[in-house]
Structure 1
Amino acid sequence: MNKSKLKWLVAGSILNNAGISFIWPLNTIYMHDHLGKSLAVAGFVLLIDSTTTLIGNFFGGRLFDRIGGYKTVLLGLFISIISLIGLVFNHGWPHYAVFLAILGLGTGILFTSINSLATRVSGYDHRYVFNAIYLGLNVGVAVGTSIAGFIADINISLIFIANLLLYIAFLMIVLLFYKDMGATPPQSESNGLSEARNSNEGKRLIHVFIICFVYFVVWIGYVQWQSTISAYLPKVNISIKQYSFLWTINALLIILGQPLISLMIKKLAHTYKIQIYVGVMLFVFSFMVLIFSQQYIGFMAAIVLLTLGEMFVFPAIPAMINAISPSNAKGSYQSFVSMSSTLGRALGPMLGGVIVEQLSYVHLYLAAIILMVISVFIFHYKFLKIKPENIESKRFRGDV
């Protein structure tokens, strides 16, 4: 796929994530306040949604390798649109839970498919490509969450109609511009090359699982900001409006800080390994700041460090996985990336809640720090003796 198609891939990422962000912030509120369900029931529904998303991540990658990216994206869109049509006409109980689970399956397929299509873009360093996808993701999240609030104030039922329109727009872009994006799976390798690759498959998968373990741990820490930390802020007299502004800082830094991050990657973190080291350590510093934060300024400093950390780590992980994955299994390997982030988002709030209830917030922050240090130590130890050309790309080129 030539680089002229990258803009449409990013557009798809924006629309997909804007659509997801229309619903996820309101799920618990809608089920509890409008459908009259307990928080436990709402939590169980969200667990089912995460499970179907995980299934979608898994099959999205494998379908990409077998039937091609175009058909896989269409399948994900078809499932998502069908579920949203169902939600438009019936968003009562238990239909809401059923259609939400189906939507999770569709969006799970789409998320992996977009990352997998990014592996086919030529003409750019792949860190540039995945950084562009990551930027599109965050633009979509920022747009989706901000617009969803205004629509919900008018009538929360309009959320489902607006979401459906977003996915129809995504479908139009796919039909017009995606047909030659990974329309068919790659050619099979010769027997000799295939045998050589198979002999190293076990070692390669170990590398992939270690990289994804780092991603999983980072997401467990990251999602605390959306769950346990958000619940803690009112206890130190920080309002919901101030909490929302922290995410405004996050979005502005991601969008406006790209030139600075690109320069830092070029000068200081020009390999995948260094980029991941720097990003994870920024996450660690963020939680260190949280340990001592009782004033709003402390949480602002922590969110800045967290945002800088994600700007290093989140694009580097899928790009590094792409660098070590065989050409005929790009989708399957990218599915591991999607699944690790989905698992982190699903398990993080539960684990964080247990630690806070049994111990304290300080213990939660310490646990996050220890987990991240252990994950990066395992990552460093495992990749220490691997030749750079086998695991890393050339020096980073390009700015987003």
Structure 2
Amino acid sequence: MLKLLLHYFNSFSGLSKEVWWLALITLINRAGAMVIPFLSLYLTDDLNFSLQQVGWIMTSYGLGSFLGAWLGGKLSDQIGYYKVILISLLLTGVSFIAIQYFTSFWSICVGFFVLIAIADMARPAFFVALSAYSKPENKTRSLTFIRLAINLGFSAGPAIGGLIIASIGYYGLFWVDGITCIIAGLVMIQTLHPKKAKIQDKEVIVENPVSAHKDGVYVLFLIALALFGFIFVQYFSTIPLYYKEIHQLSEQKIGLLLALNGALIFFFEMPLIAYLEKTKLSKIGNVIGGFVLTGISFLLLLVTPWAGVLVIGMIIATLGEMVAFPFGNAFALDRSKKGRQGAYMGLYSMSFSLAHIFGHNSGMQFINNFGFENTWVFMILIAALGTFLLHIVKQKLNREKTSG
């Protein structure tokens, strides 16, 4: 037991002080992110929107995310990641508090479009900041550490969110989300101001940089990753509805099941990544493995109506997430050294925004027209296609190494 604990704590060694502060800011921010996992339930139960309307609201959410990711990547190269993250955190806090007062369909669509555009400006900026604050050999573990902070906050968020809904209603979530974003911004001012932070690895400005959208291998990788995001976002829109409508779970139980995802990541992701980094598996090979596991989690939902399969499916999906996301992030950061990091990481973030644009809405429309089981079959086919594309990426990378 002592050996396991030492291995766990050793997986954190060597990370810079700035990465620890960035993780704390992320933790504060994500601990308050209670609205998002309950968004589909809030829109159907509290505002009485139809599944079709919820799907279109989720699409506006995704379009805002797409715009925010593009704008964040652009601004990170122009004014720097620090200003982009700080502006995003403070304005997102104000926006979360304001949006609870929007109740009509069109005001909700526009409101979430603007809110998520502002919030997701920070995504590419966070990646560039992480690259700057971590030593080259620690980048994958630093990315994993930030994900750990995200998921630790996310494990607490839904559990607390379920209690807030049960006690005072959905509006309490918007206040908590808004206040925690503002607190995260204030912590950043105190800890990561450019005059206080010691940057470990400055971005190298390359001569004749490659445009991110002209890097064929990178674009194919992003298409595959967008497909992965397409099926993964179902765990935050259609899956909660499946839990409630088919398995009759309460909001509190749904919150606890979603919290299992964050708890598993907190305890196992860092040691798992530290172990996988020592193997001969490539970053793309690990992403493929994560994609396959996530596809299997949907397959399990078709096997049996037993409620216990929900827990098993969540565990397998979480394993897929733990493997795919850190190594996908690390591959994108490595590849970004061919050009400007902000543009590369902006495109990376935009690939997940596409998943939000099409994933939530498609899932809702599929469920409405074909039912849950046929929707899960569709997600399994998407997983198979994404895995195939990643195999092509892997082959192209091998040819690059051979010719290079």
The sequence identity of aligned pairs, in percent, is 20
Q: Does 1:161 align with 2:175?
A: yes
Unaligned residue ranges in structure 1 (runs of 5+): 392-400
Q: Which amino acid aligns with 1:171?
A: G
Looking at structure 1, the residues matched to 122 and 240 of structure 2 have their Cα atoms a distance apart, in angstroms, of 29
CA RMSD of aligned residues (A): 3.2
Q: Is 1:312–2:323 an aligned residue pair?
A: yes
Partner of 2:302: 291
> Contact 2:59–2:356 (CA<8 Å) still a contact in 1?
no
Q: Which moved more, 1:364-373 or 1:302-311?
A: 364-373
1:365-391 per-residue CA deviation (whole Å, 9 max, x = no partner) reads 333223222222222223314359969
Q: How many residues matched?
A: 381
Match among 70, 73, 76 for residue 58 of structure 1: 70
> Corresponding residue for 1:126?
139
User: Aligned equivalents of 2:109 and 2:198: distance in 1?
Assistant: 33
Structure 2 segments unaligned to the other structure (5+ residues): 1-14
Other structure's SS at 1:294 match: coil
Distance 1:320 1:388, change over 3 A: farther
Q: Judging changes above 3 Å, is the alpha-carbon distance between structure 1 residues 39 and 381 closer, same or farther for their aligned structure 2 residues?
A: closer
Structure 1 CA distance for aligned equivalents of residues 36 and 368 of structure 2: 24
Residue 191 of structure 2 aligns to which amino acid in structure 1? Answer: F
For residue 174 of structure 1, what is the amino acid of its counterpart? Answer: M
Rounded Cα–Cα distance in structure 2 between residues aligned with 1:232 and 1:134: 26
Counterpart pick for 2:83 among 71, 82, 95: 71
CA–CA distance in structure 1, aligned partners of residues 247 and 338 of structure 2:
53
Shift of residue 87, structure 1, vs aligned partner? 4.3
Residue 222 (structure 1) aligns with: 232
Q: CA deviation at 1:328?
A: 5.5
Alpha-carbon distance in structure 2 between the residues aligned to 1:246 and 1:308? 15
Q: Which whole-Å deviations, capped at 9, do the CAs of 1:271-305 have from their partners, x for residues lacking one?
A: 20221122112123223322212212323222211
Q: Which residue of 1 aligns with 2:159?
A: 146
Q: CA deviation at 1:138?
A: 1.0
Which residue identity lines up with residue 221 of structure 1 in the other structure?
I
| Superposition deviation, residue 342 in structure 1 | 2.4
CA–CA distance in 2 between the matches of 1:367 and 1:157? 34
Structure 1 residues 266-275 or 28-37, which shifts more? 28-37
Counterpart for residue 323 of structure 1: 334
Measure the CA separation in 2 of the matches of 1:234 and 1:154. 20
| Aligned residue type for 1:219 | G
CA separation of 1:15/1:97 partners in 2, compared to 1, >3 Å: closer, same or farther?
A: farther
Q: Distance in 1 between matches of 2:98 and 2:212?
A: 43
What is the DSSP-based 3-state SS (H/G/I as helix, E as strand, rest coil) of the residue aligned with 1:22? Answer: coil
Aligned mates of 1:306, 1:334 — CA distance in 2:
25
What is the 5 A alignment of 1:1-400?
Answer: 3-19=16-32, 21-35=33-47, 40-84=52-96, 86-87=98-99, 90-91=101-102, 93=104, 98-123=110-135, 124-152=137-165, 153-180=167-194, 189=205, 194-195=207-208, 197-198=209-210, 201=211, 205-233=215-243, 237-240=247-250, 242-258=253-269, 260-262=271-273, 264-268=275-279, 270-326=281-337, 329-387=340-398
> Which residue identity is paired with 2:350?
M
Mean Cα deviation higher: 131-140 or 248-257: 248-257
**Matched AA of 1:72:** V
Counterpart CA distance in 2 for 1:105 and 1:202 is 21
Aligned 8 A contact 2:143 2:326 in 1: yes
Distance in 2 (alpha carbons) for counterparts of 1:33 and 1:371: 30
**Amino acid in the other structure paired with 1:208:** Y
- The one-letter code matched in structure 2 to 1:175 is I
Distance (whole Å) between structure 2 residues aligned to residue 206 and residue 79 of structure 1: 35
Question: Is contact 2:74-2:342 (8 Å) kept?
Answer: yes
SS at 2:207 equivalent: helix
Deviates more, 1:45-54 or 1:331-340: 45-54
More moved, 61-70 vs 339-348: 339-348
Q: Residue 46 of structure 1: CA displacement?
A: 3.4
Give the 3-state SS of the residue equivalent to 2:62 in structure 1: helix
Work out the CA distance in 1 between the residues paired with 2:175 and 2:248: 34
CA distance in 2, matches of 1:385, 1:358: 39
Change in CA separation of 1:260 and 1:293 when aligned onto 2, cut-off 3 Å: farther
One-letter amino acid of the structure 2 residue matched with residue 168 of structure 1: I
Q: Answer whether contact 2:61 2:356 (CA < 8 A) is retained.
A: no
Q: CA deviation at 1:336?
A: 2.0
Contact 1:69 1:182 in 2 (8 A): no
Q: Partners in 2 of 1:35 and 1:13 — Cα distance?
A: 30
Distance of 1:27 and 1:288 partners within structure 2: 25
TM-score by length of 1: 0.82
Could you say if the C-alpha distance between residues 209 and 293 of structure 1 is closer, same or farther in structure 2, counting changes exceeding 3 Å?
Answer: farther
Deviation larger for 166-175 or 237-246: 237-246
Q: CA deviation at 1:206?
A: 1.7
Give the Cα separation in 2 of the matches to 1:188 and 1:266.
Answer: 24
